[in-house]
Copies of this chain bind each other. A is one copy, B any other.
């Protein structure tokens, strides 16, 4: 089985993280394009989505932000910017691909946050919080920079897929399943929840004010 080969799992994890980083950067750049930002503004919004969540996680954990030792996140965001500049039509046609990549990113970043927090000896509730922050906070920063209301606060289920993944990770980990199995199960679980949420337009109940 695949999950008995840690090296293969690692390679798959890296491919998925690159796809996710690209999708996150593209999301920031395209939102910036909708507001007619210039190339620099697009790049900043792209990098904010790609590294924002992980940076907040690392500041809370008190460790150096993950991207400070690896220039590739900046380069992938540059690539995403070039792609967007080169062909808006192509980007539009790839909408479904970007949606899939974005979901892979959500799952991969959540798991990266879960693992890093647990490895540093924090309790599991912290891991779930920081897994969710790693997965979704970048998109919130993007919306704040764009002067939009954060989309994850009122659209289809997104952050809750990350939280549900965190809970499953905790459960399987506690039952002493092997780590690769836990990671793969969590990954698929997050993706399935997100796909179902978008397909069936599932969202959390809305709060109402008093008036």
Contacts and interface: CB of A to CB of B under 8 A. Distances in A.
Interface of A: 29-30, 32-42, 44-45, 55, 59-60, 62, 64-65, 68, 71, 74, 84-85, 88-89, 91-92, 122-123, 125-126, 129, 140, 144-150, 152-154, 159-160, 203-210
A210 B68 CA distance: 33
Query: In terms of DSSP, what is the predominant structure of the interface of chain A?
Result: helix
Given A32-B153, A35-B154, A147-B149, 20 more contacts: A32-B207, A35-B149, A36-B154, A36-B209, A37-B153, A37-B154, A37-B207, A38-B154, A38-B203, A39-B204, A39-B205, A40-B153, A41-B153, A59-B59, A62-B64, A68-B126, A71-B125, A84-B207, A88-B209, A88-B210
Contacts of A154: 35-38, 41
10 contacts: A36-B207, A38-B206, A39-B204, A41-B153, A42-B207, A59-B59, A62-B64, A71-B125, A88-B209, A147-B147
A-B residue pairs, 10 tightest by C-beta: A41-B153, A33-B207, A38-B204, A34-B209, A92-B210, A37-B153, A33-B209, A39-B204, A147-B149, A42-B207
Contacts of A35: 149, 154
Given A74-B125, A146-B149, A147-B147, A207 B59 contact: no
A156 B148 CA distance: 23
Contacts of A203: 38
Contact of A208 (B40, B55, B88, B160): B88
